[in-house]
Amino acid sequence: MTEHPKSTAPVAAAAATGQNDHAVLVRDLVVRAENSRGSAELLHGVSVRVGAGTMHGLVGETGSGKSITASAVMGLLPKGVTVESGSILLGDRELVGAGDKELHDLRGPRFGMIFQNPRTALHPMHAVGKQMDRVLRTHLSLGKKERAERVLHYLNLVGIPDASRIARAFPHELSGGLAQRVVIATALLCDPTFLIADEPTTGLDATVQRQILELISRLQHELGLSVLMITHDLSIVAQYCDTVTVMLHGSVVEDGPVRRVLREPEAEYTRNLLQASTLSHVTRRVRAAA
């Protein structure tokens, strides 16, 4: 039997007291998929709060609803999948019911996404710099020289050596780690305040995974970003996140500060995740933070 959350309390409390120091506030979100064979509810009243300037972990196994939640926030739900009810606030701006143009205009300047597979996020037929330039032309009124300088600045910011050469390169010429750094640079091009990182280290070797996570953490602190980190790995949450939401079968089963959730999990599923994770790493992180 699916556990139901006790964890919506922080979201409800924030709403009740009028607190609005959130980057994104998802409340009671219901998402449904429909096709010729019928319909199915994918998210069952999901509530998630990402505090301003914090990193919030969204954790669960494959199929738990993490990516659907992120796609709903971005306004990028697949065909046949719609928000049935609930609210998604970006600051004080309601996204549920927003039109395609409004959402398109917000992506880039207000929020961005780091996809789990940079190979599919980047167009294989266009050089990196050309793709980044197109993002700038879409969202910002800058001259050609200013755009070129901005592209190089953000490639440098994410730690890419020889940024001019990489700007001329095609995605297939890049390693997985370099390609993901390009995706991160592209997500930051228009100075958004909120980023979704959807399993950003998938397919990378362990050393590169750590480098990418350290990069996202550094940028989050240096730029004052709010980040929703989607992962199935509680050791990542323990090391990098301030707060966490645990999902199972389209519902929230636990939510709260990372220290409390990992030290005193209320949900059986969270306890199972802890046991299945790199437990020695999680335990060490939690004890160090205590």
Integer angstrom CA distances of residue 182 from 15, 55, 188, 212:
37, 21, 10, 11
Confidence of residue 2 (pLDDT cuts 50, 70, 90): very low
| 3 lies in some domain | no
Tokens of 30: 């219901």
Total count of domains within the chain = 1
Query: Is residue 290 predicted with pLDDT exceeding 80?
Result: no
Confidence of residue 43 (pLDDT cuts 50, 70, 90): very high
Domain membership flag for residue 244: yes
Check residue 275 and give its pLDDT. 82
CATH (domain of 206): 3.40.50.300
- Note the pLDDT of residue 16: 39
Q: Tell me if 39 is assigned to some domain.
A: no
Give pLDDT, residue 146.
Answer: 95
Let me know if residue 223 belongs to a domain: yes
Range of the domain at 59: 52-76+99-289
144-169 b/e (C-beta count within 10 Å ≥ 16 → b): eeebbebbbebbebbbbeebeebbeb
Q: Are strands 251-257 and 226-231 parallel, antiparallel or unpaired?
A: unpaired
pLDDT (0 to 100) of residue 31? 97
Domain presence at residue 236: yes
Say what the pTM is. 0.87
Does the pLDDT at position 42 exceed 50?
yes
2 within domain boundaries: no
Q: Do residues 94 and 87 lie in contact, with contact meaning Cβ atoms separated by under 8 Å?
A: yes
For residue 39, give Cα distances in angstroms to 31, 33, 75, 85, 101. 11, 5, 20, 15, 27
pLDDT tens digits, residue range 143-188?
Answer: 999 999 999 999 999 999 899 999 999 999 999 999 999 999 999 9
Judged against a pLDDT cut of 90, whether residue 129 lies above it is answered with yes
The per-residue pLDDT for range 203-227, each reduced to its tens digit, is 888 899 999 999 999 999 999 999 9
- Is 12 within the bounds of a domain? no
| Percentage of the chain modeled with pLDDT above 70 | 88
